[in-house]
Amino acid sequence: METLKEAFSLIVHLDSELIQIICTTLVMSFFSTSISALIGIPLGVSLGKHRFPGRGALLRVTNTLMGLPPVLAGLVVFILFRSIGPFGSFHLMFSVPVMVIAQVLLITPVVTGLSASASASTWVAMRETALGLRLSGLKQTSLLLRECRGPFLSVILMGFGRSIAEVGAVSLVGGNIQFKTRVMTTAILLEANKGDFSKALALGIILMLLALIVNIPAYTLQERWK
Amino acid sequence: MKKLLALILVFCLLFSFAACGAKKDKVIRLATTTSVNDSGLLPYLLPVFEKETGYKVEVASAGTGIAIGYAKSGDADLLLVHSKKQEEAFIEEGYSSTERLSFMYNYFVIVGPEADPAKVADAATAADAFKAIAESKAGFASRGDNSGTHNKETGIWDSVEIDPTGEDWYTSVGSGMGDTLTKANELGVYTLTDKATFLSMKANLPNLKLLKEEADDMKNTYSLLGVNPEAEAFKGTDVKINTEGANALIEWLQGEEAAKLIEEYGKEAYGEQLFYLLKK
């Protein structure tokens, strides 16, 4: 009850630091999810629709990477992008872009794997018709994309969910710097580490509300596409 | 609905770009330990420094081990840490542009269950207390994260020639001070902590009591180290160190104004001074 009250008062008073944390979280998740979708969906569709040598191996690699632990993704990106690392000249450590890079590494395999399986099963169902109608390859793909838009939306939402909820990678490469790279999850971890569990939980409630706000319009859209 | 969402997104984008607007040479990257940041000391001191000088200090707070790791990666301009051995190694490897600038200290304390089964409160020194804990097998939670506090703890174990690794009364938590205190509280065991963090969390630690403090072997000295832009490991890389900014902060933290602020810190919130200045 106390926690609910605290969450409510945090939302009502909405200080500039919390606004910054929420904005950084949304900006980061927006970019990680969009970039992962732009890479992952085309990859997934080509894996789902086409049969080519090495396809099985690629699918297995993708499925393994779907389980990539966030801290490992963070560690790899940290080693690559720290100032003495191979990409150190970009000076991206402890910034939102490097957090996005780590998350893209994490989310793209999930988007690829899930859209591959969604498009594969849909393609099996529509293959005969599409070939019967003598559609060109391009037309086939655009029809497949249209048929799969519902599942793809779920895939994107799942990617967004993973992005907004992730803490291992973003805390390692982002450094949880106040007013700069602190996001909801790292703020929750910080409060929990300080022993302020009710504030941590209050922040968690706000995070879940954010996820709900994003999911409501998406769900409506999905219903319409059914 | 769409318009609203678009509006929120644009707002967020502008906001995040505005945040990136700070000039590079006005940013100082400080890698430090959790104890000076989470206890509230830096959030109390740094705004004064920033207002006076126009610098912006970005604080990455982690254990001393990872803080030094950030500095060795070229991603920090200066260090504020508390682990003599690790600091000396850092200097020896040529990473430091300054000597070890020790400027303040406080005391580690031993906290544990109120019943105090190992009679830690009666021990004369931390070494005696640790020996008593090991003999009674009363349970001890260790940071286990190569931080300054963890190094202090292993130093004390070494001094009494006990190796607690793997003993079933010894829990290596592998996490920050706050998390370790929380776990010690849940398990009802002893742990070594800096006093400031313990006092700032006390309300959430009903099972832990401050049992031993201010013994000679429990002094906790904090030092500043500037990062050397010419370090061997940085050769041929594009590491950029803001030496000017780091020096400004080093000078300010050792100055009179900071001294007054540090001596006042904690008196109001906890009724006692938490950090003391080393007399020069």
Is residue B260 domain-shared with residue B226, that is, in the same domain?
yes
**Domain assignment of residue B6, yes or no:** no
User: Any idea what DSSP says for residue B40?
Assistant: S
CA distance B49 to chain A (A): 16
| B115 and B207 fall within a common domain | yes
Q: Do B201 and A27 touch (CB under 8 A)?
A: no
Residue B106: strand pairing partners: B220
Read off the amino acid at residue A78.
F
Residues B112 and B211 in one domain: yes
Contact B182 A30 (CB under 8 A): no
> How far apart are alpha carbons A217 and A209 in whole angstroms?
13
Torsion over CA: A175, B73, B39, B164 (sign): positive
Which chain B residue's Cα is nearest to A189?
B179
Nearest CA in chain A to B12: A23
The total of structural domains in chain B comes to 2
Taking only the tens of pLDDT, chain A with its 226 residues reads: 777 888 888 888 888 889 999 999 999 999 999 999 999 999 999 999 998 999 999 999 999 999 999 999 999 999 999 989 999 989 999 999 999 999 999 999 999 999 999 999 999 999 988 889 998 889 999 999 999 999 999 999 999 999 999 999 999 999 998 889 999 999 999 888 887 888 899 999 999 999 999 889 888 888 888 7
Q: Give the per-residue pLDDT at A47.
A: 94
Q: Is the predicted pLDDT of residue B1 greater than 80, yes or no?
A: no
**B86 is a domain residue:** yes
Q: B11, B36, B58: best mutation site toward chain A, by most A Cβ within 10 Å?
A: B58
Q: Evaluate whether residue B15 is within a structural domain.
A: no
Most distant pair of Cα atoms in chain A: their distance: 65
**What is the domain count for chain A?**
1
pLDDT the model gives residue B2: 57
Assess if residue B189 is contained within a domain: yes
Residues B213 and B224 both lie in one domain: no
Q: Is residue B115 a part of any domain in this protein?
A: yes
Q: Which residue has the higher pLDDT, B23 or B195?
A: B195
What number of helices (H) and strands (E) belong to chain B?
A: 12, 10
Partner B contacted by A175 (CB < 8 A):
yes
Place of tokens 């010419």: B230
B243 and B162, same domain (yes or no): no
Are B95 and B231 within one domain?
yes
- Comparing CA positions, the residue from B115, B71, B75 lying closest to residue B94 is B71
The C-alpha atoms of residue B111 and residue B191 are separated, in whole angstroms, by 6
Q: Which residues of A touch B12 (CB under 8 A)?
A: 23, 26-27, 30
Closest CA to B99 of B228, B267, B233, B264: B228
Residues of the domain holding B35: 24-105+220-277
Q: Cβ A84–B179 below 8 Å, yes or no? A: no
- In the chain, the amino acid numbered B185 is N
SS3 assignment, position B210: strand
Which amino acid, one-letter code, is at B1? M
Calpha distance B15→A23 (Å, rounded): 8
Query: Is B97 contained in some domain?
Result: yes
Q: Which residue of A has its CA nearest to B58?
A: A177
- Distance between terminal CA atoms of chain B? 64
CA A219 to CA A164: how far, in whole Å?
18
Shared domain check, B257 and B157: no
CA A178 to chain centre: 23
Give whole-number Cα distances, A88 to A73, B79, B138, B238, B239, in Å. 17, 20, 48, 6, 7
Kindly report the CATH number assigned to the domain that includes residue A97: 1.10.3720.10
The residue length of chain A stands at 226
- Strands B27-32, B56-61: pairing is parallel
What average pLDDT does range B192-215 have in this prediction?
90
Contact assignment for A91 to B34 by CB distance below 8 Å: no
Q: Does B115 touch chain A (CB under 8 A)?
A: no
Q: Which domain holds residue A169?
A: 2-225
Sign of the CA dihedral running A98, A22, B6, A226: positive
Best mutation site among A78, A83, A173, A177 for testing chain B: the one with the most B CBs within 10 Å? A83
Q: How near does any CA of chain B get to the CA of A16, in Å?
A: 11
* B137 occurs within a structural domain: yes
Number of CB atoms found within 10 A of residue B240's CB: 16
**Burial environment of residue B114 by CB neighbours within 10 A (0 to 12, 13 to 18, 19 or more):** exposed
